[in-house]
């Protein structure tokens, strides 16, 4: 039974970005454009956590919190462009559990979501397990096992593997992969992916020279071998 998270922001692009990331972590996601909508959805779906922008038309984040807090204790993470102390204090007084300043990295937001859920006594979702051949990746536990033994991966390596394993057989371009692990606007050098792949292979392949799982698709990118 996966947790539901309500994302409230008037910027559609930001909402869908956050939604993508949350879903990849195994959460169900509801969205709203303003406080009024959010209130309606919160009553109906009873989310386990709310990610809330402060600046919105119709009914802003403060107003929403004031009303919502009278009804439920749902943990709330505030998003704010202003990083002024005043905002922070006011938000925390109203009952926010954490706040994240824009612009933020998706990875940071995910970390805070997990932290808040843990702190408020709810467990992270038991991430659906991805299993291909002898490789088992557990999103919730954030762990990877190969042939039964636990493997240590860096955050980038884990994300990369999770993306590849989510669609075995599908070839991803370096750009796609960079986009998925960095989020938002691509800034870097595509070849960075090569290095992550090399390190991943060293950790999960029996013979990194002849990879059985992470295959190279010449001229395209990489893919996880379908069974």
Joined tokens for residue 185: 């606007």
Which stretch, 35-43, 46-54, 93-101, 200-208, contacts a second copy (CB under 8 A)? 93-101
CB atoms within 10 A of CB 81: 11
Q: Considering only residues 137-156, where is the footprint of a second copy by CB under 8 A?
A: 140-143, 150, 154-155
Q: Binds 216, which of a second copy, DNA, none (CB < 5 to 8 A, cut-off by type)? A: DNA
Is 211 among the residues that bind a second copy (CB under 8 A)? no
Residue closer to DNA, measured from CB, 122 or 154:
154
Joined tokens for residue 202: 């060293």
Alpha-helical (H) ranges within 98-205 are 106-119, 155-166, 174-182, 192-204
Give the CA distances from residue 41 to residues 5, 50, 62, 75, 186, in Å, rounded to whole numbers and listed in that order.
11, 11, 17, 15, 33
CB of 140 to DNA, least distance (A): 18
Q: Binds 189, which of a second copy, DNA, none (CB < 5 to 8 A, cut-off by type)? A: DNA
Residue closer to DNA, measured from CB, 82 or 198:
198
C-alpha of 66 from chain center = 27
Q: Binds 150, which of DNA, a second copy, none (CB < 5 to 8 A, cut-off by type)? A: a second copy
DSSP state of 183: -
Q: Binds 195, which of DNA, a second copy, none (CB < 5 to 8 A, cut-off by type)? A: DNA
> Strands, E, within the chain: which ranges?
4-8, 28-32, 49-53, 76-80, 98-101, 129-132, 135-138, 143-146, 149-151, 172-173, 214-217, 221-224
Is 83 among the residues that bind a second copy (CB under 8 A)? no
Which stretch, 35-43, 52-60, 179-187, 193-201, contacts a second copy (CB under 8 A)? 179-187
Angle at 80 between CA 75 and CA 82, to 5 degrees: 140
Q: Binds 196, which of DNA, a second copy, none (CB < 5 to 8 A, cut-off by type)? A: DNA
DSSP H or E run through 185: none
Binding residues for a second copy, per CB under 8 A?
Answer: 12-13, 16-17, 19-20, 73, 75, 92, 95, 97-99, 107-108, 111-112, 114-115, 118-121, 140-143, 150, 154-155, 167, 169-171, 173, 175-176, 179, 184-186, 217-220, 223, 226
């Amino acid at each position: 039974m996966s947790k539901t998270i309500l994302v409230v922001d008037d910027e559609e692009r930001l909402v869908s970005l956050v939604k993508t990331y949350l879903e990849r972590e195994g959460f169900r996601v509801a969205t709203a454009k303003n406080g009024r909508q959010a209130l309606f959805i919160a009553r109906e779906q009873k989310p386990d956590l709310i990610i809330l922008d402060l600046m919105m038309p119709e009914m802003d984040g403060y107003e929403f919190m004031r009303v919502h807090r009278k009804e439920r204790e749902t943990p709330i993470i505030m998003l704010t462009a202003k990083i002024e102390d005043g905002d922070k204090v006011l938000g925390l007084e109203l009952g926010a559990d954490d706040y994240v300043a824009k612009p933020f990295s998706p990875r940071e937001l995910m970390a805070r979501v997990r932290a808040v859920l843990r702190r408020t006594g709810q467990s992270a979702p038991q991430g659906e397990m991805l299993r291909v051949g002898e490789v088992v990746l557990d999103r919730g536990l954030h762990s990877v096992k190969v042939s039964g033994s636990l493997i240590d991966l860096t955050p980038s390596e884990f994300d990369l593997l999770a993306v590849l394993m989510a669609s075995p057989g599908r070839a991803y371009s370096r750009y796609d992969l960079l986009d998925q692990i960095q989020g938002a606007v691509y800034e870097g050098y595509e070849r960075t992916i090569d290095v992550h792949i090399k390190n991943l292979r060293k950790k999960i392949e029996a013979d990194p020279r002849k990879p059985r799982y992470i295959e190279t698709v010449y001229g395209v990118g990489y893919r996880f071998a379908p069974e």
